């Protein structure tokens, strides 16, 4: 096999691994979303607003505490900014 053929095969293997990770990640994001929806339903009872900047900052700080890379903290913060935004937009 040429180097290019070997590389092509390795790319296909990594993509297969990524596809498997995505199944797991989507499952966890949906389970996480169930808890976000439950919290959203409870917030009016305790007069809390939908957007809670202190809680969001607490989440970011925690993530950075256990992030082991290769994602940098700013990479993770960018993904989670999107996750937290979407969690507020999911139809109840």
Binding site for a second copy (CB under 8 A): 3-4, 7-8, 10-11, 14-15, 17-19, 21-26, 28-39, 42-43, 45-48, 55, 59, 62-63, 66-72, 75-76, 78-79, 81-83, 85-86, 89-91
Helix (H, G, I), strand (E, B) or coil at 37: helix
Q: How many CA atoms lie within 13 A of 57 on its CB side?
A: 3
Q: Which is nearer to a second copy, 23 or 53 (CB)?
A: 23
Minimum distance from CB of 51 to a second copy (Å)? Answer: 15
């Amino acid at each position: 096999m040429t180097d290019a053929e070997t590389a092509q095969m390795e790319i296909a293997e990594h993509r297969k691994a990524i596809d498997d990770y995505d199944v797991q990640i989507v499952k966890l994001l949906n389970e996480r979303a169930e808890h976000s929806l439950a919290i959203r339903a409870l917030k009016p009872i305790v007069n809390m607003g939908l957007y809670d900047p202190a809680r969001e900052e607490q989440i970011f700080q925690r993530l950075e505490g256990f992030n082991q890379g290769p994602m940098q903290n700013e990479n993770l913060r960018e993904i989670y900014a999107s996750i937290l935004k979407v969690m507020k937009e999911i139809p109840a």
